[in-house]
Each structure stands twice: as structure tokens, then as C-alpha cells.
Amino acid sequence: MSYEFSVGSRTVWSPSLQTGQIYVGYIRSLENLLGVSAGFEPSASDMVRVNRDQFSTFVDALLDWYRPSDPRNVQFRSQMFVVLGPAVVMLDRSGTIEIDVPEELLTEARNIPMPS
């Protein structure tokens, strides 16, 4: 089974069921920390509709933490990449990225094998 993330009628990511469930758990935890909605609307137990505008705002808020972080803080940056990598790819697949994503993050994210 898989877990489907869609923006409009376009599937932007379709990982395994467990991977999708874990990713949504990360998102929900970060929503609570930031006080910002990611725009994830469950449409079934294994499907999420993503509100692109809300998700873009959420990712930008995450990037506000990520951008100034010390590159030597490997644990923080690694944990943030677990969420930011797929997020950047989903935004990229749904249209133009309209937020300031560091080039190295964008390049690394685009190299993640992510089924759609």
C-alpha cells in the first residue's frame, strides 16, 4: 500500500504507507511547534490533499529555522531535512517554488528518489 499526497488533481508524492504516516506525524509535530498549519487535509486514511499556499507558508516558516542554523549542528539540520527535503520536492512538483530555498537544499532535495 502507499500513501498519496496531492495538490489539486496532481499526485506530488506517493511513498509507502508507513513512510507517509511517519511524514504526516513529523508535519503535525512541527505544526504544533510553529503554530502554523501545513495545509494537509486528510481525504482518506492513506491520502492527503495539500493546500499549496498554506504548505508554502509552512515550509517557509521551517526554512526560517533552517537558514540561519549552524552547518555544524548536524543533528538539527538532518532532522529538518527529513521534512524539508520531501516538502521542497512536493512544492517543486506542484508548480513554481515561490519561497527562498537555499540552493544546496534544493539540489539535495531534488536528488531524493521520491515516487509520484
Question: What single string gives the DSSP state of each residue in the chain?
Answer: -B-EEEETTEEEE--BHHHHHHHHHHHHHHHHHHT----EEEEETTEEEE-HHHHHHHHHHHHHHHTTS-TT-HHHHHHHHHHHHHHHHHHHHTS---S---HHHHHHHHTS----
In a domain, 97, yes or no: yes
Residue 10, in any domain of the structure: yes
Q: Is residue 116 part of a domain?
A: no
What is the extent of the structural domain holding 80? 4-110
Query: What pLDDT score does 21 carry?
Result: 97
The verdict on residue 115 lying in a domain is: no
Amino acid identity of 42? P
Number of independent structural domains in the chain: 1
pTM here is: 0.92
Q: Looking at the predicted structure, is the pLDDT value of residue 67 above 90?
A: no
* 72 domain residue, yes or no: yes
Residue 44 lies in a domain: yes
Q: Kindly state the average pLDDT of the residues 83-110.
A: 92
Q: Is residue 37 part of a domain?
A: yes
In a domain, 71, yes or no: yes
What was the pLDDT predicted at 40?
98
How confident is the model at residue 23, as a pLDDT? 98
